[in-house]
Structure 1
């Protein structure tokens, strides 16, 4: 039987019950104090510009009524708060509902900002239906704002008043305001598209110039760009452009195309739009040095990477197909003495290269033994391991015994390569070219967090390949867990995410140690991980 709160009716509405379940799975507790954090609000975007006149008009219409109007972006961060009655404004401010705070469902539980964004549907949340007790003094109705042209959720509008007050008019009023905002978004998008088109036409006047414009549901490319780029390349270019953010100035990215050619992308924001002009400049110095690109190794070789990041593949490339494999996970099954005897027999004889997998699992005595064998062996040896503090601690002797080291970047830090990797995985899975990933699908794949790295990517490709024998694979064909492209992160949030991930990796996955290194509490670290969708 489903457990319910004493604050809810015996039979809560299905949408509220489902949201409470998700809130509990996020580690939240009903009586906890909301840990609401404030972050700088990005420069005004198209949503704020379109919504502000609508919100100001609504505030005038609600004059003297204790109703608050809250606008949030697609990440549930509050962008604007309007109120016609001072008491409503004070009540919202006391709860932390001010520009810059974030109210995602995973951070504060069921609420009329985060939950409608989670479900993509309008939702009335009566006072006791809020997950956290602190919010139960309010009744709110939130409705997603969908861009009429791109069909992408841009944000959410929330009308809120005192719990117990008549809220019957909240849904129709909110829907009317959302409709007005969406109409203004469409009008402004038309202006922005014309500006992007003008910028593209000006750039394209120089014959032979590979250039692309991306923004507002619009993608324009010159013939030289079309000749240069494959569908996977288009998705990679789009990912690089969106990852640039909205800051002024030109950003540069190196990209290796599906053809193997290396190009430099010069991404320039187009003024008064959310779009970019991307110049594609071929590099003259050949491909950049990357793991697996034919580099020679000094032996022994240490390969460091997260689970699923391709450690085994990289090791086999370096050691060759005839290499013998010794796996540290077998210590549990064989026992330390048996495993040690096998390792000694392999490394004390002549023969092809040897790969020792997952050395992070070895205890200190076994680590010491393996380090001695490495110093004496005549064979080429490759060690694979996860990153973390253990490389400077219990396994430091193995690190010092290796003459060279390769650190593999996780997939989330190689987003521009994901489209090509996905196409390659699909070709290997199907063995034919009858099934294709569309550019939109490749873009969605490139925006996923991929905590399981290449292993997770190949699993998703295998799953989607089984649904079609021919034709195009579109975003709706992807598994539900990988179907939606997250909103491009702000440079600030992306930097924060990378700092937290690096701290956790350096702590070997120990969240408490990572929190201490960052100078925050463990609960604050977990809240930021939920907010930034970090799953490690």
Structure 2
């Protein structure tokens, strides 16, 4: 999401650009257009030209595809430039330095060391973060750096793009003292990038050979349903293919890709056929991939879905909007339950709604479901808590998660004998293909329809802030446009046709924190930024980087 500046912002930005342009033209002639646009982005990130570099050293990732491919190339470059004053830097796709070969101590004095991130949002325009942002090579002369601290250096940076996946893998940068044009920077770095990309392609081919070897070992028993997933390669035994339908393939891959920490993981999955299986995912040694065993569950075994009223009442169902709170509440108490929704307080008034509540909970009868208790005022919360102490019928409360459960609505939480927290859809991606296919089957059409593996994979990768309700709307939109046949990604609504780029657990957590802060502030970005302890421009920049719309 891009920040649209208001009239005051535009005029201020023009004045700032005019001043910065005058300053730079005095020393180096008219600034290039791409310089101006990058400086404007730097300012919107809340950075000051005379500010000190906010370089914070983080953790450098372990050995991966980029470091394996780049290591020998960087060592060769070090040998070739050993007697020169130039620095050679390798950064990952997030613009974090992972390797640096340099004899100039000035860089170390500035804090330019492995683990430091050089994103545009951290230090403004530079020849590491800007190529990572634009995916284009860039030469930055001394005073074209946004921060004055880097005006003594001239640098050229070029992105590294994986030849097979076309994903950004990192950036190679060369730098030296400002004053010379360093015309060889560009061809030298381009050659280094080309060598690294060639090694990435070879590394991917070697990884696929390791995956194939692991699969051949696991598939010695033809009756063993097993798959190997990784590096753009999926291998499956005939018995695994007999069990899986297209939607199931995407679910299995989501489980394999969701492994954390390199250890084994087990997931319980309901297949499109209705059969329940366990997926045991184990890493393949020496490669980014997983061996997935499909283990059918024993007949009669039932998965636990959380406590029901028989184990304690009232029952509290906690879940985000659209996550299926109402469905879970009615499943817990069965058909015939009476529903009282807190959203009706606005229409009925507190007095009338309170009278209905007391009448229901102080009499005997069928179960009662009280929906959206997070909307209740302090007085109504106290009234509901008093009624729950002597309730004579099964009662289920539904509520959204949040700090209010430890604050205004804590008395209700304390009175509930059981609690069921619904997992957001984005945290159970392996369920999405099967859910989408079942929703599609429930819609009307002239013939059978099926989500292809690619379509299921794209849907599984979406963030789904609206959870099940959002997924159902998307499936219904697809059903209206295609009444029969296979559904491919181009059949999906435009904003759902591409899978978001894979993200780290940290970036996912950051995204969720920002989304929740904006919700809590009623979509007021200024208030949300204040609650997060950042400027509004920084918030807009993080929203853009994390694809928050």
Class of the TM-score when normalised by the shorter of the 2 chains: 0.7 to 0.9
Q: Provide the secondary structure at the position in 2 that maps to 1:173.
A: helix
After TM superposition, list the pairs within 5 Å mapping 1:159-170 onto structure 2. Answer: 159-162=174-177, 165-166=180-181, 168-170=183-185
Deviates more, 1:171-180 or 1:317-326: 317-326
- What residue number does 2:101 align with? 82
Pairing 1:254–2:268 present: yes
Q: Distance in 2 between matches of 1:374 and 1:109?
A: 57
The count of residues paired between Structure 1 and Structure 2 equals: 513
Structure 1, 207-216 or 14-23: larger mean CA deviation: 14-23
Aligned to 1:57: 76
TM normalised by structure 2 equals 0.77
Give how far 1:291 is off: 5.8
Please name the residue that 1:215 is paired with.
230
Aligned partners of 1:265 and 1:279 also within 8 Å: yes
Contact 2:329 2:369 in 1 (8 A): yes
Bigger Rg, structure 1 or 2: 2
Aligned partner of 2:430 in structure 1 is 416
Encode CA deviations 1:313-342: one digit per residue, 9 max, x unaligned.
323444566555433344455543343234
Q: For residue 27 of structure 1, report the CA deviation from its aligned partner.
A: 5.9
Q: Which runs of 5+ in 2 are unaligned?
A: 1-6, 23-29, 522-531
**Is the aligned partner of 1:152 residue 2:171?**
no
Q: Secondary structure at the match of 1:265?
A: strand
Alignment of 1:517-536 (within 5 A): 522=533
- Which of 369, 372, 392 aligns to 1:355? It is 369
| C-alpha contact (below 8 Å) 1:122/1:143 kept by paired residues | yes
Shift of 1:466: 7.0
What displacement does 1:367 show? 0.7
Deviates more, 1:475-484 or 1:186-195: 475-484
Deviations 1:122-148 (A, max 9, x none): 444555555555555544443332222
Alignment check: 8 A CA contact 1:353 1:381 kept: yes
Shift of the alpha carbon at 1:221? 0.9
Gap change, CA 1:40 and 1:378, over 3 Å in 2: same
Are residues 1:226 and 2:241 paired?
yes
For the 8 Å contact 1:233–1:258, the answer to whether it is kept is yes
The 1:287–1:237 alpha-carbon spacing in structure 2 relative to 1, beyond 3 Å, is: farther
Name the SS for the 1:51 alignment partner.
helix
CA distance in 1, matches of 2:121, 2:108: 21
Q: Does the Cα contact within 8 Å between 1:145 and 1:156 map onto a contact in 2?
A: yes
Q: Where do 1:243-282 residues align within 5 Å?
A: 243-245=258-260, 247=262, 250-282=264-296
SS of the aligned residue for 2:88 comes to strand
Q: Which stretches in structure 1 are left out of the alignment for 5+ residues? A: 511-520
CA contact (8 A) 1:104 1:113 kept: yes
Further displaced range: 42-51 or 412-421: 412-421
Instruction: Tell me whether 377-386 or 161-170 shows the greater mean CA deviation.
Output: 161-170
SS in 2 for 1:234: helix
Match runs of 1:7-406 below 5 Å: 8-9=20-21, 33-83=52-102, 86-87=103-104, 90-127=105-142, 130=145, 134-135=149-150, 137-162=152-177, 165-166=180-181, 168-245=183-260, 247=262, 250-284=264-298, 286-290=301-305, 299-318=313-332, 323-332=337-346, 334-348=348-362, 352-406=366-420
Q: Alpha carbons of 1:47 and 1:437: their partners in 2 closer, same or farther (altered >3 Å)?
A: farther
2:525 maps to none
Does the CA-based 8 Å contact 1:75-1:487 persist in structure 2? no
Distance in 2 (CA, whole Å) between partners of 1:433 and 1:167 is: 66
Q: CA deviation at 1:379?
A: 4.6
Give the CA deviation at 1:304.
Answer: 0.9
SS of residue matched to 1:416: helix
